[in-house]
């Protein structure tokens, strides 16, 4: 479907399409002569909408936003002046083209990519549903999607309600099928995350309830932690007693996963969630690995994690063990007490350098009783650190 106020421009777009797809069925609509499309318009029956910026008294970007926010609406390519590119992409257009500098080959390639993606989804027999507040998401039977919490390149996280008992859950959904060339590593790590922690029962580790694998997605159903994350709590300021309590609970969770041979490798405040009762739970084991494995899915020599919380050995892509998680926990404890990260720099490499070379920073005097603990956890050489989370708990 082609929508624009200029008959000549609609004809131009139709010509581009039919030159490559002679059997294409095209409908066009003039919003200036025929009036604006009603709010109930869903784009039904169209594989793709080509949307120009000419809409009379209505802004083209506003029209685009109305379409892309409608659940189940077809992909929309937007055509307008160059200065609207960022706004169009931010509004979730499937592509942007300058109206007065249209290149046939680029347009055909983008349309082809969109149609191929639609065919690939259809060929799997997957059911997708749309919701005004969530957007397009896979239909996972037994759950009602409430809202999207976050999204990354390979996965999205949703708040959902289990239909059987009304319990709120979190669904982490891998958005790529395992046989896609760029999805293999992500898919393997996704399944590994479930396998590593599904059998662990610990009050400070997120509870995993279910794993589902379909033709074009996999999902993990896990406990909903409604108290926000530790990152936000640090930003608001944490009382010393609460910081110590959180610290003990995280250390207890680390002791448990290390006991069964698991490293977290991405310990940071954003991966520590709080329950409504104030207890904390460790989440996101996507970078975790079993210490006994000789080969890592991520490959040798690659650096994964967050530089602010990386141990010196992890930042230099060296072999890591439980003492690397101990270092990360020390960074978190320092940040909970002071509200500041121990090392800052203008680049990730600068932060990695400071972790390996800068002296351990001094806590403010009111926290002096914890300086020895910080020194023992942030030692540059793993041999000089506390050697386990159990030792950390014993020291406290």
Catalytic residues: 266
In whole angstroms, give the CA distance from residue 73 to residue 48. 9
Q: Which one, of 333, 326, 301, lies nearest residue 315 by Cα?
A: 301
Joined together, the tokens standing for residue 286 give 């996507």
Spatial contact of 264 and 285, defined as CB atoms under 8 Å apart: yes
Spatial contact of 220 and 194, defined as CB atoms under 8 Å apart: yes
CA angle 161, 158, 288 (to 5 degrees): 120
CA angle 201, 272, 261 (to 5 degrees): 45
**Phi and psi of 152, rounded to 5°?**
-135, -170
Using only the alpha carbons of the chain, give its radius of gyration.
26
258, burial (CB in 10 Å: exposed 0-12, middle 13-18, buried 19+): buried
- Break the chain down into helix, strand, coil percent, rounded to 5: 40, 20, 40
Q: Which one, of 223, 234, 235, lies nearest residue 283 by Cα?
A: 223
Joined together, the tokens standing for residue 381 give 């050489």
In whole angstroms, give the CA distance from residue 91 to residue 128. 21
């Amino acid at each position: 479907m082609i929508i624009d106020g200029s008959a000549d421009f609609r004809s131009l777009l139709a010509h581009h399409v039919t030159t490559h797809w002679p059997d294409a069925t095209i409908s066009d609509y003039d919003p200036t002569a025929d009036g604006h499309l009603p709010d109930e318009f869903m784009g039904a029956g169209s594989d793709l909408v080509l949307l120009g910026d000419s809409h009379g008294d209505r802004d083209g970007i506003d029209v685009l936003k109305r379409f892309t926010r409608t659940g189940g609406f077809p992909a929309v390519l937007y055509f307008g002046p160059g200065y609207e590119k960022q706004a169009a992409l931010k509004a979730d257009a499937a592509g942007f083209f300058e109206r007065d500098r249209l290149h046939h080959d680029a347009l055909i390639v983008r349309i082809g990519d969109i149609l191929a993606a639609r065919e690939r989804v259809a060929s799997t027999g997957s059911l997708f549903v749309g919701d005004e507040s969530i957007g397009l998401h896979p239909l996972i039977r037994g759950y009602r999607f409430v809202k999207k919490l976050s999204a990354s390149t390979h996965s999205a996280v949703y708040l959902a309600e289990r239909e059987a008992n009304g319990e709120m859950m979190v669904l982490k959904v891998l958005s790529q099928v395992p046989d896609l060339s760029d999805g293999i590593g992500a898919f393997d790590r996704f399944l590994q995350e479930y396998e590593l922690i599904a059998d662990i029962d610990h009050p400070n580790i997120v509870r995993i309830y279910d794993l589902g694998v379909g033709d074009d997605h996999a999902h993990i159903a896990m406990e909903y932690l409604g108290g926000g994350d530790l990152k936000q709590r640090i930003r608001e300021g944490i009382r010393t007693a609460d910081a110590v309590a959180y610290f003990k609970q995280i250390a207890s969770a680390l002791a448990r996963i290390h006991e069964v041979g698991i490293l977290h490798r991405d310990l940071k405040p954003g991966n520590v969630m709080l329950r409504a009762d104030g207890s904390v739970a460790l989440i996101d084991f996507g970078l975790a690995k079993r210490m006994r494995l000789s080969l890592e899915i991520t490959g040798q020599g690659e650096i994964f994690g967050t530089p602010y919380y990386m141990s010196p050995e992890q930042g230099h892509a060296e072999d890591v063990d439980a003492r690397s998680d101990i270092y990360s926990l020390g960074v978190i404890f320092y940040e909970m007490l002071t509200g500041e990260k121990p090392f800052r720099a203008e680049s990730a490499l600068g932060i990695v350098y400071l972790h390996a070379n800068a002296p351990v920073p001094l806590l403010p005097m009111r926290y002096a009783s914890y300086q020895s603990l910080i020194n023992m956890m942030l030692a540059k050489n793993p041999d000089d650190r506390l050697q386990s989370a159990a030792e950390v708990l014993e020291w406290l």
